[in-house]
Amino acid sequence: MAKKAAGGPKRVTMTDVARRAGVSQPTVSFVLNDRRDVAVAEETRRRVLQAAAELDFVPNRAAQLLRSNRSFTIGVVTSGIVSQPYAGLIVLGLQQVVQPAGYVCMVVDTTDDPGQGDDAVASLVAQGVAAIVYASLSPKPLHRSPRLDGIRTIFVNCWPEEGHADTVLLADEYAGGRAAAASVFERGHREVAFLGGMRDDYACRERRRGFDDAARAAGLKPSELVHRYGNYQIGNGYDLATEVVVEHSPTALVCGNDRMAIGALLALHALGLECPGDVSIVGFDDQPDVADQVRPGLTTAALPHLMLGRRAGELLLGPPEEAPARLIVDCELIERDSVGDPPKQRRRVGPK
């Protein structure tokens, strides 16, 4: 009985593809590596691609790296993302785009310690990454390692404290805040309160700016509306909503994020009020398994974390000279059941 050869099935090579397509091995290399600087007839290119598909050819990336001195690894330096599933969509979106092109992502989550970030970058650079992507849970400035000279860098949902990035990608917090506020002003609400996050937080400032411009568009003076600031947590949303509803009896609350909006929903329930019958509520983030799971479902502006990651991947695969210095991604308004028309008669609670 013949003895089976060790090592399993033979790997399909460019020579096999060349034989199937009836061309030379260098021609196969030019086509599969998309060498547009070398003239190859379209019919020949088609035959090579068809032969590669028929043979289920898989490029040997290690060999390509040795020949071209090109890395197929992207270093991702994140701040607080790995512990937050919905913010992790940034990394998922990046992977969805670059992995089909043969790249892998090496993710390192750091603290706010610049030294730790520099060490992480040094390790990634030592492994020959093709690019570095900085990504953050919330929009803020991040320390950019000085060891990145000559390496392409993209900042997603953040920007460099110092130095230069090829591109900065941010969500349109202002437009999202304006759309969230407009969703109640356009329903006829006039007694509206803004319950934001930290006053000096970039996202809060932009969302407040959008809220105020939506109020002006509705013919209202922002200075005459209630504005309160908190910390983006459920308990804080509960406390702020209780205070504002008892003291001012608004018909709508525009909250800094979905967690604060959930706190506001709990506060209304504790006060014996209904949403949206007595008070409408709007959130921000469209946090998965949260905004669509509460009752009533939460109207909210969606943070485009997945799209931010995908756009970063598309830019990395494209020519660096065509990448914009700054790219703003829309925050879509997701309309659910927490917004209704203002009540015909406001129900007051608490001390008269």
Q: Does residue 247 fall inside a structural domain?
A: yes
> What confidence category does residue 83 fall into, taking pLDDT thresholds of 50, 70 and 90?
low
Look at residue 259 in the predicted model and tell me its pLDDT. Answer: 96
| Cα separation, 347 vs 276, whole angstroms | 12
Pair 182, 291 in one domain: yes
Pair 111, 219 in one domain: no
Pair 251, 309 in one domain: no
Q: Is the pLDDT of residue 7 over 70?
A: no
Pair 177, 288 in one domain: yes
- pLDDT-wise least confident of 30-44, 193-207, 335-349: 30-44
Q: Please tell me the total count of domains within the chain.
A: 2
**Domain carrying residue 133:** 73-165+305-331
| Cα separation, 272 vs 259, whole angstroms | 20
Give this prediction's pTM: 0.78
Q: Which CATH number fits the domain that encloses residue 225?
A: 3.40.50.2300
Pair 177, 152 in one domain: no
The secondary structure element, H or E, covering residue 175 is helix 173-185
Q: Is the pLDDT of residue 315 over 70?
A: yes
The pairs formed by 28-37 with CB atoms below 8 angstroms and a separation of 24 or more are 28/52, 32/57, 32/59, 33/64, 33/68
Q: Is the pLDDT of residue 180 over 50?
A: yes
| Over residues 50-71, mean pLDDT | 64
Q: Does residue 6 fall inside a structural domain?
A: no
Pair 295, 309 in one domain: no
Pair 115, 188 in one domain: no
Pair 160, 200 in one domain: no
Q: Is the pLDDT of residue 112 over 70?
A: no
Rg of the chain over all Cα atoms, to the nearest angstrom: 27
What average pLDDT does the structure give for the chain? Answer: 87
Pair 245, 310 in one domain: no
- pLDDT-wise least confident of 25-39, 65-79, 314-328, 333-347: 65-79
Q: Does residue 50 fall inside a structural domain?
A: no
Q: Does residue 104 fall inside a structural domain?
A: yes
Q: What is the DSSP letter of 47?
A: H
| Cα separation, 73 vs 33, whole angstroms | 17
Residue among 275, 264, 261 nearest 238 (CA): 264
Pair 159, 185 in one domain: no
- pLDDT-wise least confident of 65-79, 135-149, 241-255: 65-79
Q: Does residue 295 fall inside a structural domain?
A: yes
> What confidence category does residue 85 fall into, taking pLDDT thresholds of 50, 70 and 90?
low
- Percentage of residues of the chain with pLDDT beyond 90: 56
Residue among 43, 44, 55, 46 nearest 17 (CA): 55
Q: Is the pLDDT of residue 291 over 80?
A: yes
Q: Does residue 197 fall inside a structural domain?
A: yes
Q: Does residue 105 fall inside a structural domain?
A: yes
